[in-house]
Structure 1
Amino acid sequence: MTRKLNPHALFGLVAASTLLGIAGTDLVLPAVPSLPHAFDSSVEKAQMVLAAYALGTLVGLIAFGELGARRDPRRLLIWSLGLFTVASIAATFAPSMEGLIALRLAQGAFGAGPAVFAPGFIKGIFPDDRAAAAIGRLGSIESLAPALAPIAGAYLLTLGGWEVSFFVLGGLGLALTLVLWALGKELPARTEALQSNQTYWTILGNRNFLRYALSQSFALGGLLVFVFGAPAVLAGPLGLGIEAFVILQAVGIVAFIIGANLSSRLANRFGTERIIFAGTSLLATAFLLLLIYAATGGTSLAVIVSIWIFVNLGFGIRGPIGFHQAILAAEGDHSRGAALVVAGILGTAAAGTALIAPFIALGLWPLALGGALLTGLAMIVLVALRQTPPRRLAGTDG
Structure 2
Amino acid sequence: MTRPRASTHAAFLLVAAGTAIGIAGTDLVLPAIPSLPAMLGGTAERAQLVLAAFTAGAAIGLLFFGEIGARIDHRRLMIGSLASYGLVSFLCTFAPGLDALIALRFVQGASGAAAAVFAPGMIRALYGDDRAVRALGALGSIEALAPAAAPILGAWLLSIWGWRASFDTIAALALMLAAIILWRRDLLPVVVRPVGSGSYAQLLHNRRFIGHALGYAFTLGALLVFVFGAPTVFTNSLGLGLGAFVLMQVCGITLFAVAANSTGHLVQRFGEMPVIVTGTMFAVMGAAAMLVYALVGGASLAVVIPAFTLINLGLGIRGAPGFHAAILAANGDDARASALVILAILMTAAVGTAAVAPFIGAGLVALATGSTILAISALMMVGLTR
Name the TM tier (shorter chain): over 0.9
Per-residue deviation, 1:286:
1.2
Per-residue deviation, 1:222:
1.2
Alignment check: 8 A CA contact 2:282 2:314 kept:
yes
Q: Which residue of 1 aligns with 2:182?
A: 181
Distance change (3 Å), C-alpha of 1:90 and 1:3: farther
Partner of 2:385, secondary structure, is: coil
* Residue 42 of structure 2 is aligned to residue 41 of structure 1: yes
Distance change (3 Å), C-alpha of 1:93 and 1:311: same
Q: Which residue of 2 aligns with 1:237?
A: 237
The residue type equivalent to 2:49 in the other structure is M
d(CA) in 1 for partners of 2:219, 2:132: 24
Alignment of 1:56-95 (within 5 A): 56-95=57-96
The residue type equivalent to 1:276 in the other structure is I
Q: Which residue of 2 aligns with 1:339?
A: 339
Q: Which residue of 2 aligns with 1:202?
A: 202
Per-residue deviation, 1:262:
2.9
Cα deviation digits, residues 320-358 of structure 1 (max 9, x gap): 221121122221111101101111001100000011111
* Residue 125 of structure 2 is aligned to residue 120 of structure 1: no
Distance change (3 Å), C-alpha of 1:37 and 1:169: same
Task: Return 5+ residue gaps in structure 2 as ranges.
Answer: none
d(CA) in 2 for partners of 1:376, 1:328: 24
d(CA) in 1 for partners of 2:312, 2:135: 22
Q: Number of residue pairs matched?
A: 385
Distance change (3 Å), C-alpha of 1:186 and 1:3: farther
* Residue 107 of structure 2 is aligned to residue 106 of structure 1: yes
Distance change (3 Å), C-alpha of 1:147 and 1:344: farther
Distance change (3 Å), C-alpha of 1:386 and 1:325: closer
Q: Which residue of 2 aligns with 1:396?
A: none
Q: Which residue of 1 aligns with 2:10?
A: 9
Alignment check: 8 A CA contact 2:229 2:360 kept:
yes
Name the structure where helix makes up a greater proportion of residues: 2
Partner of 2:308, secondary structure, is: helix
TM-score by length of 1: 0.92
Cα deviation digits, residues 62-119 of structure 1 (max 9, x gap): 0110011122222111110111011100001111101100110000000101111112
Distance change (3 Å), C-alpha of 1:129 and 1:297: closer
Q: Which moved more, 1:247-256 or 1:337-346?
A: 247-256
Per-residue deviation, 1:220:
0.1
Max Rg structure: 1
The residue type equivalent to 1:359 in the other structure is F
Q: Which residue of 1 aligns with 2:167?
A: 166
TM-align CA RMSD: 1.9
d(CA) in 2 for partners of 1:102, 1:26: 18
Q: Which residue of 1 aligns with 2:226?
A: 226
Alignment check: 8 A CA contact 1:139 1:323 kept:
no
Q: Which residue of 2 aligns with 1:22?
A: 23
Partner of 2:96, secondary structure, is: coil
Alignment check: 8 A CA contact 2:140 2:260 kept:
no
Distance change (3 Å), C-alpha of 1:141 and 1:323: farther
Per-residue deviation, 1:268:
1.9
List 4+ stretches of structure 1 deviating above 4 A: 1-5
Per-residue deviation, 1:293:
0.8
TM-score by length of 2: 0.95
Task: Return 5+ residue gaps in structure 1 as ranges.
Answer: 388-398
Distance change (3 Å), C-alpha of 1:132 and 1:376: closer
Alignment check: 8 A CA contact 1:140 1:319 kept:
no
d(CA) in 2 for partners of 1:126, 1:139: 15
Alignment check: 8 A CA contact 1:121 1:188 kept:
yes
Distance change (3 Å), C-alpha of 1:248 and 1:374: same
Alignment check: 8 A CA contact 2:70 2:194 kept:
no
Q: Which residue of 2 aligns with 1:319?
A: 319
Per-residue deviation, 1:40:
2.3
d(CA) in 2 for partners of 1:51, 1:111: 15
